[in-house]
Structure 1
């Protein structure tokens, strides 16, 4: 298994858990929870692959990409903790998924020959895409639209990978470090209440 596929599958798993946990909090049935797990885990990757012309998308070409979110949904359905802790777990797993997907999205975009800035943008979209779909389907305002620091750490993580790649640094630790930095910044933003600036009142 390549580093790209390995990080992809881990990212799908943790993002799928966030979708399933939101389904638990919304008191959906097992089918609804599985739907949210699937679209959250696979949505960002679908968007990424379509944008860079990697068709059919990996989720349709490799059985592992479908089985991982299904497993995550079932695990969450049977083993989820008390409802009072669900939101905190959603935030933790969402931050981890954001970090992993922004990195894998940028790496795959680079592998398909996109220029550095475009690859960083694709990585960012890959990171935030699944969460946006999850929130829309579950009736929540998407996190990326709620003043929260969300897309910025994704762009930073993707940008770090792109810069390292252009400098000839292709070692696995580069991707892992960039994902960890994105995740840490996102978690710090949640804990400290960091928000993006808004326009001053007229």
Structure 2
């Protein structure tokens, strides 16, 4: 039944390709901001667009990973990096654009990663965790390659939380057999909206508990 639910979602490949493209744009723009050369910008685009998917495939045993085996995703990542190389906005606005693109990639990859985990027989909990790691993996790799603190760890940002909520909802609806294309799209939009709202409203995860005052 689970496999039937997943195969009824023709939008899944489109979501993944969209995630690769958006993630690659975010990675390439980070490279532009760091004043890297053309090759470095394209490498960052490839890493950001395909890093989460490769991590996912290794975890669920889907080998070889799509990031080095599927020409469609490789070409999409290179195309996303190339587009950003030629059409990036002014550098002083780049950081804001990066986080918006990253929010889109986070949302797309979270849903796709969760669904692929379920497709490969992962338990619901494992599939949700795979979805989260797929969502944040490309951004983490991008930040590490540009010597930045990964955004998932930075300033207690509400980054992994939207991904976890989206992955959990995806698993629950898929288990009930009511996910469908509309549900997948709605979850993608919800994760994206929550991430952008968290940035705009400066929502954050609580820091370490410091005990009662005066202790």
TM-score normalised by the shorter chain: which range applies?
over 0.9
Q: How far, CA to CA, are the matches of 2:107 and 2:38 in structure 1?
A: 27
The yes-or-no answer on 1:187 pairing with 2:196 is yes
CA RMSD of aligned residues (A): 1.3
User: 8 Å contact 1:4–1:108 — kept in the other structure?
Assistant: no
The yes-or-no answer on 1:152 pairing with 2:161 is yes
Q: CA deviation at 1:74?
A: 0.8
Give the aligned partner of residue 178 of structure 2: 169
What do the CA deviations read for 1:154-187 (whole angstroms, capped 9, x no partner)?
0111111111101101411111111111111100
Q: How far, CA to CA, are the matches of 2:15 and 2:120 in structure 1?
A: 17
**1:32-181 aligned within 5 A:** 32-146=40-154, 147-181=156-190
Give the aligned partner of residue 38 of structure 2: 30
Q: Which of residues 3, 7, 10 is equivalent to 2:18?
A: 10
What are structure 2's unaligned runs of at least 5 residues? 1-8
Question: For this pair of structures, how many residues does the alignment match?
Answer: 202
Which TM-score applies when normalising by structure 2?
Answer: 0.91
Which TM-score applies when normalising by structure 1?
Answer: 0.97
Larger deviation, residues 79-88 vs 40-49: 79-88
Q: How far, CA to CA, are the matches of 2:21 and 2:10 in structure 1?
A: 17
User: 8 Å contact 2:53–2:134 — kept in the other structure?
Assistant: yes
Q: How far, CA to CA, are the matches of 1:84 and 1:25 in structure 2?
A: 9
SS in 2 for 1:176: helix
Q: CA deviation at 1:201?
A: 4.5
User: 8 Å contact 2:10–2:181 — kept in the other structure?
Assistant: no
Q: How far, CA to CA, are the matches of 1:61 and 1:19 in structure 2?
A: 20
Q: How far, CA to CA, are the matches of 1:199 and 1:163 in structure 2?
A: 31
Q: How far, CA to CA, are the matches of 2:168 and 2:50 in structure 1?
A: 22
- Which protein has the larger Cα radius of gyration, Structure 1 or Structure 2? 2
What are structure 1's unaligned runs of at least 5 residues? none
Larger deviation, residues 58-67 vs 116-125: 58-67
